[in-house]
Every structure is written in C-alpha cells, then in structure tokens.
Amino acid sequence: MLKSKKRYSALLILFLVIASAGTVLAEQLRRVTDISHVCMVNNEDMGKPQIPVKVGDQTYYGCCKMCIGTLNNDRKARFAIDPMSGKEVDKAKAIIGAKPNMAVLYFENEKNFQAFTSR
C-alpha cells in the first residue's frame, strides 16, 4: 500500500512538473513585430533586419545568399505548419512567435497564436 501511494505521488509530481513546463514555454513565446528580422529558412529571429526576397507578390527574408536561393527555389522554405491548426501557412503572411532561444513558430492567425500562448 505504501509503495502504491509513493508511486502515485511521484507520478502526480511528474505530471505537475511537465504541465507547468509546457505553460512556461507557451507564456514565453513572444510575438515578432518586425518579420524582417526573421530568417525564414533557419526559422530564427535574428534580432536585426534580414535580406528581403521577393517571390511573386510576397516578401520573405533570409540571412545569406544560400537562404536567398532557397527561398527563391524551394516552396517548402516559404511555408510552415501552424502548430495549433496543423494547416499550412505562408511565412510571409503568418503571425510569428519567437521562443526564448529565438526559434520561431508560424501561425495562420492571431486566434491560433493566442491559443498557443495561453495553453
């Protein structure tokens, strides 16, 4: 009986730690207000303006010549999956959130961004 209570307590503590860690990460996601600072190939907020790359009627951003070529030639580099809806989103039109490590996530709308940050 005592072993069972200890196991239950340990599992409850583990669950609470995991749940709170997820909440902390979601709360730390900040909205990127200047998408020109995002390298859309490396999916990272670089903290300064990147090189604009015009593809069709959209403008994407890359940090170097390799990124420019990738954005021009690889459709997959210009699109991401919204982590809330699972839908494809054009990075040039997306709501972008940056994690503390500067990695970014792309959302199709403000509602999905808010839902993600309030989990």
Residues 59-67, mean pLDDT to the nearest whole number = 98
Tell me the residue range of the domain where 23 lies. Answer: 2-117
pTM of the model: 0.77
Average pLDDT in the chain: 87
In sequence order, the 6+-apart residues with CB closer than 8 A to the CB of 116 are: 26, 29, 83, 84, 97, 105, 107
Average pLDDT over residues 87-115: 98
Overall number of domains in the chain:
1
- State pLDDT tens for residues 4-35: 555 555 444 544 444 444 444 455 899 999 99
